[in-house]
Structure 1
Amino acid sequence: MLRRLFVPLIALVLALTAAPHAAGADTGFPSVDRKWSAAGPYATAVDVGLVTTLYYPRDIAQSPRRHPVIIWGNGTFAFPVVYRDLLLHWASHGFIVAAANTPQSNLGISMRAGIDLLAQRNADPGSIFYGHVDLDRIGASGHSQGGAAAIVVGADPRVDTIIPIQPGPLADVDTVHGPMFILAGQYDIVVWPALVKAFYNDADHIPAIYGEVRGADHFTVVGAPGPFAGPTTAWFRFQLMGDEEARGEFFGAGCRICADTRTWSDVRRNQPALQVPGPAL
């Protein structure tokens, strides 16, 4: 009874405050002219650690701005190197990606450790990350078991938005507090689209968008990420960088992914997502 009474009110508030860093925010990152699938303007580097591997803009020490964070969870028995192309793609767009070095990511412990590591590096005058990590703008993503972990860490108050990619079942989307872009593969027989839709259907308290990638199986995102690179980059650029050019990909009557039947076999937006304003005319 209480859920039925309060969910509509909560949904309205979240819709009005969705993408809190996007509405009128200017973080100073260069435009990519909506070329989300192309490499971004930053050369990249990798720092392999014991618990966390960092993918980041190579010249971050000379950057005039603070860079948003994406924490990443791997699929079962996988490590960050399996997803190297996708993680470097995000880094080329200006994100610091903290990827958990674990093949069992579901609890999200190692993903949260990535935030803690970057907080330490950001406060260390001897680190190249000193003063360049935007700890107020953090997203989470992951694939398969790591997709479930992205949902798990979506309950962390430090995490602003999540992209679960073909997530496993061991997560509770009711605990997520920020906008969600949840992805399935049309021909995925490991995590069936119906299982991903169940998460989407249950996420009636947050702005949520379901995207089913046409022709994708469970391993399409591995290696060259293909159709997963562009939309995920656009989402994070909007949610974490305030890139207004990316707003129209997801929100408003002209929602571009909604009309792109070549890339998507199914796109759904829940009521809170429909209430997020589209681009200014």
Structure 2
Amino acid sequence: MSVLKKRKWMLGLSALVLIVVVAITIFLNIIIHSNVPKLADGSIEQRYAQQGRYPVKIEEVKGTHGEALFRIYYPAFQGDESYPIISWGNGTGATPDRYHELLTHLASWGFIVIDSYSTTTGTGQEIVDAIEYLNNENQLANSLFYQKVQMEQIGVAGHSQGSTGVINAHTNYTSGSLIKTIVSIALPDLKYADPEDVYDTARIAVPFLIMGGTRDFLISPVSTNKVALHNTNASTPVMMGMAKGAAHTAIEGNGGNHRGYLTAWMRYWLLDDQEAMKAFHGDASEMMHNPNWVDVIQANMDR
């Protein structure tokens, strides 16, 4: 075969492979999106999946050399109002752009949401650093966030590697005692965690929500989420659920069907929202009977 013919053959093969990959991707996306259940009209889940009442602003924080450190989503400040914190943990290789719509959504419900630009958040260091940054800004008279942060009301949530990070932020750092609630989304099986990222849910001492998806077969299957729940301290309020049709990256973008209950959980534990509480409180809670969620299990949620 001549060099020219070989080159044409290789180009043709590459084009064919690309077409196949694109076709498979489109097919899988169609299947995944067609299997995402519709939220029930009038449900608590649907209410908190809708945009909140606050207009949202964004602040970019850069280091001394101009490097991007944090992105902060916050409610447009009104008067003397202050707001709880949600410190977010990115999945492997992800930056705030991957979760932009979701983090904007959370801020619209009255939270200051801070996300680092780190693409490796499994140790929890970046989640803690973000909390400490806002704590410092809250005390600086010339800061945009001066006396705007409710440092006594801090939640953490993360995706994949970031979900190991938010657990570790609470259990492995002194500042972790400030954290009032934890949400893990697509928590990886321990066999996928680097040694420095290994988490221990038995050490969690605050309300803990474990969110997974029925299509996350490999990294965060239902068995992994159940182990995380059953290993949690016997006195800790904990709840888990697997969203029907959700794959490992379902939380990216606008948060998919995780968005409603993630928002409601944070409103319940950080803002004492009694309407949001009904989604989780006791055996009669909405999430326990929501057909869009399976393997919903709870402990100590009737207090």
Distance 2:169 2:233 in 1: 18
Distance 2:187 2:170 in 1: 13
Contact 2:280/2:286 (8 A) holds in 1: yes
Segments of structure 2 that go 5 or more residues without pairing to the other structure are 1-42, 62-67, 191-197
2:192 aligned with 1:167: no
Correspondence for 1:47: 59
1:56-95 matches, within 5 Å, as 56-57=74-75, 59-60=76-77, 62-95=78-111
Amino acid at match of 2:228: F
Within the candidate set 280, 292, 297, 1:250 is matched to 280
CA offset digits 1:221-277 (Å, max 9, x no partner)? 11121211100000000000011111110012420011111x20220012x22x42x
The number of residue pairs the alignment matches comes to: 239
CA offset digits 1:129-149 (Å, max 9, x no partner)? 111100000001000000111
Shift of 1:204: 3.4
2:242 aligned with 1:226: no
Correspondence for 2:298: 269
1:1-16 matches, within 5 Å, as none
Correspondence for 1:201: 230
Distance 1:194 1:63 in 2: 47
For residue 230 of structure 1, give the secondary structure of its aligned residue in structure 2: helix
Contact 1:154/1:161 (8 A) holds in 2: no
Larger radius of gyration: 2
Amino acid at match of 1:52: F
Amino acid at match of 2:203: T
Shift of 1:44: 0.7
Amino acid at match of 2:204: V
Shift of 1:124: 1.3
Contact 1:51/1:110 (8 A) holds in 2: no
Amino acid at match of 2:54: Y
For residue 188 of structure 1, give the secondary structure of its aligned residue in structure 2: coil
Contact 1:122/1:132 (8 A) holds in 2: yes
Distance 2:222 2:96 in 1: 24
CA offset digits 1:167-216 (Å, max 9, x no partner)? 12321112211000111111103222211211011013311101111110
Distance 1:64 1:230 in 2: 28
Distance 1:53 1:176 in 2: 27
Correspondence for 1:192: 221
Distance 2:80 2:134 in 1: 18
1:33-182 matches, within 5 Å, as 34=44, 35-49=47-61, 50-57=68-75, 59-60=76-77, 62-155=78-171, 156-168=176-188, 169=190, 170-182=198-210
Segments of structure 1 that go 5 or more residues without pairing to the other structure are 1-32, 277-281
Distance 2:156 2:254 in 1: 20
Distance 1:65 1:244 in 2: 20
Distance 1:242 1:109 in 2: 28
Contact 1:52/1:110 (8 A) holds in 2: no
The structure with higher relative contact order (CA 8 Å, sep 6+) is 1
Distance 1:89 1:70 in 2: 12
Shift of 1:92: 0.4
Contact 1:79/1:103 (8 A) holds in 2: yes
- Change in 2 beyond 3 A, CA 1:195/1:182: same
Within the candidate set 267, 271, 281, 1:241 is matched to 271
Distance 1:257 1:48 in 2: 35
- Give the helix-richer structure, 1 or 2: 2
Q: Report the TM-score, using the length of structure 1 for normalisation.
A: 0.82
Q: Report the TM-score, using the length of structure 2 for normalisation.
A: 0.76
Contact 2:203/2:232 (8 A) holds in 1: no
